[in-house]
Amino acid sequence: MKKLAVIVNRVYTTSIELKFPNDGRDHIQEIEERLANKVGMLWDLVYEKELEQMNITNESWEISEIHQTRTGALSPDAGPRN
């Protein structure tokens, strides 16, 4: 049985709209920290919008065979001979 791997690369842009009160806080910094730390609710919104907005600008794929290899200790007679 052959195993094949298919890798799909897509380039797209997603935008979300966030509303904050005008209270003097640095909301950009808060968003930056939430994105960097993978805080759930914000990323959930991004994932939802990705599915709605996914206008793909570039698409490519690669198909390759997955080779099964065996690894382990080499026997003493597997090396070069003098």
* Distance of alpha carbon 43 from alpha carbon 47, whole angstroms: 6
Comparison of pLDDT for 80 and 59, the residue scoring more: 59
What's residue 69's pLDDT? 66
> What confidence tens digit (pLDDT) does each residue in 25-49 have?
999 998 999 899 987 788 899 888 9
- Structural domain spans, the chain: 3-18+25-67
Beta strands 58-66 and 3-11, pairing class: antiparallel
CA distances for 34 relative to 3, 28, 29, 73, angstroms = 39, 10, 9, 47
* Distance of alpha carbon 29 from alpha carbon 32, whole angstroms: 5
